[in-house]
């Protein structure tokens, strides 16, 4: 879209109006709430980018390369190097632990700014109520002004509307951060679920290959036994004799297989614990999002009602000013009575 700022400024100048000035957006000029919200959002974006970048290497089931790789850290700053190399099981576990820690920290940060905003709202409401009660001797002053004890002034209505709009805006920011954090947690949990599924399928494949490799030996052994005379080989068939080398080979294979399945089981248990923790965090986020959404809708609805109440309040104030004030009548009656007493004393 073309920039027509110069043309618009020329039109404004023709009507003796000030031109449009460019506004430079700077986070440093914002308040502390928005600064913290921007910081949390940037950290969530960094974590999401990191998880998406390492996803291919994290989910890869390819065997480790023979050539040794350069060992890099698995923190969020080494995304490019980590995404381009093979990851070991230890590195994957470290990634899971680090991502889980960052998710907890971000969740705590979002909860912290939400609680801080709630405290600010309560404080602002308390200060506004105290200011309203102190202004004009509180309820007595309002009664003396025309009997409108509970009516709010136009300035109070405008301030209340401004506070409600500010509250709704900040509640929306907290809701957005919780939604983005939930999406990041879903991405992490999905990656872990796919990894567990692939590890289980890989273990089943290894078991199938091992079972298949033992079939030729069993068939050849049965064929050799059947080729001999039944009477002479009956005892050997009942108790086949194996050499020491074969016994050691089978024992070593059994130990390797047990170690492989034990390692796989440990990995699955660790991943399941991480999934449970992330699921609990996501459940908390979902509950907070639901409550936050209801609160935001209520605030927006209240802001609309406040705008309507401003006009109604102005009309009520006008009617109150037109009605005869009790305090005014009392004052005039007192003055008339005092004047009557003075005149009575002067005459008599």
Interval 229-264: pLDDT, tens: 454 454 444 445 667 777 777 777 777 777 766 776
Distance CA 322, CA 206 (A): 93
Q: Assess contact for 289 and 281: CB atoms under 8 A.
A: no
Label residue 196 by pLDDT band (50, 70, 90).
confident
Distance CA 197, CA 207 (A): 16
Position 244 scores a pLDDT of 74
> What DSSP string runs through 305-318?
HHHHHHHHHHHHHH
Distance CA 244, CA 252 (A): 12
Q: How many CB atoms lie within 10 A of CB 285?
A: 24
Interval 105-163: pLDDT, tens: 998 999 899 889 889 888 888 888 787 776 555 555 555 555 444 556 677 778 888 88
Percent of the chain with pLDDT over 90: 9
The residue extents of the domains of the chain are 96-136+151-209+254-325
Q: How many CB atoms lie within 10 A of CB 89?
A: 14
> What DSSP string runs through 212-253?
HHHHHHHHHHHHHHHHS-TTTSHHHHHS----HHHHHHHHHH
């Amino acid at each position: 879209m073309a920039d027509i700022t110069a043309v618009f400024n020329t039109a404004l100048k023709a009507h003796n109006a000030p031109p449009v000035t460019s506004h430079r957006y700077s986070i440093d000029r914002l308040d502390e709430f928005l600064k913290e919200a921007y910081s949390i959002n940037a950290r969530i974006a960094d974590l999401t980018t990191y998880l998406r970048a390492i996803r291919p290497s994290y989910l890869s089931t390819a065997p480790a390369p023979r050539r040794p790789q350069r060992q890099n850290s698995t923190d969020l700053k080494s995304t490019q190097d980590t995404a381009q190399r093979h990851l070991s099981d230890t590195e994957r576990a470290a990634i899971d632990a680090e991502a889980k820690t960052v998710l907890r920290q971000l969740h705590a940060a979002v909860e912290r700014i939400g609680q801080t905003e709630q405290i600010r709202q309560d404080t602002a409401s308390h200060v506004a109520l105290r200011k309203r009660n102190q202004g004009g001797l509180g309820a007595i002053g309002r009664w003396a002004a025309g009997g409108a004890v509970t009516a709010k002034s136009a300035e109070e209505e405008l301030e209340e509307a401004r506070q409600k709009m500010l509250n709704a805006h900040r509640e929306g920011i907290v809701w957005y951060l919780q939604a983005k954090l939930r999406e990041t947690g879903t991405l992490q949990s999905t990656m872990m679920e796919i990894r567990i599924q692939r590890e289980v399928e890989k273990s089943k494949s290894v078991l199938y290959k091992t079972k298949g490799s033992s079939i030729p030996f069993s068939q050849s052994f049965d064929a050799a036994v059947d080729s001999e005379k039944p009477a002479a080989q009956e005892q050997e068939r009942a108790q086949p004799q194996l050499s020491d080398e074969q016994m050691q080979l089978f024992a070593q294979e059994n130990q390797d297989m047990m170690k492989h399945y034990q390692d796989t089981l440990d990995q699955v248990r660790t991943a399941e614990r991480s999934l449970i923790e992330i699921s609990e965090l996501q459940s908390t986020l979902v509950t907070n999002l639901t409550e936050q959404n209801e609160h935001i809708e209520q605030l927006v609805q209240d802001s609309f009602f406040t705008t309507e109440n401003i006009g109604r309040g102005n009309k009520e104030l006008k009617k109150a000013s037109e009605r005869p004030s009790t305090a005014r009548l009392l004052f005039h009656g007192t003055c008339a009575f005092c004047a009557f007493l003075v005149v009575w004393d002067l005459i008599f």
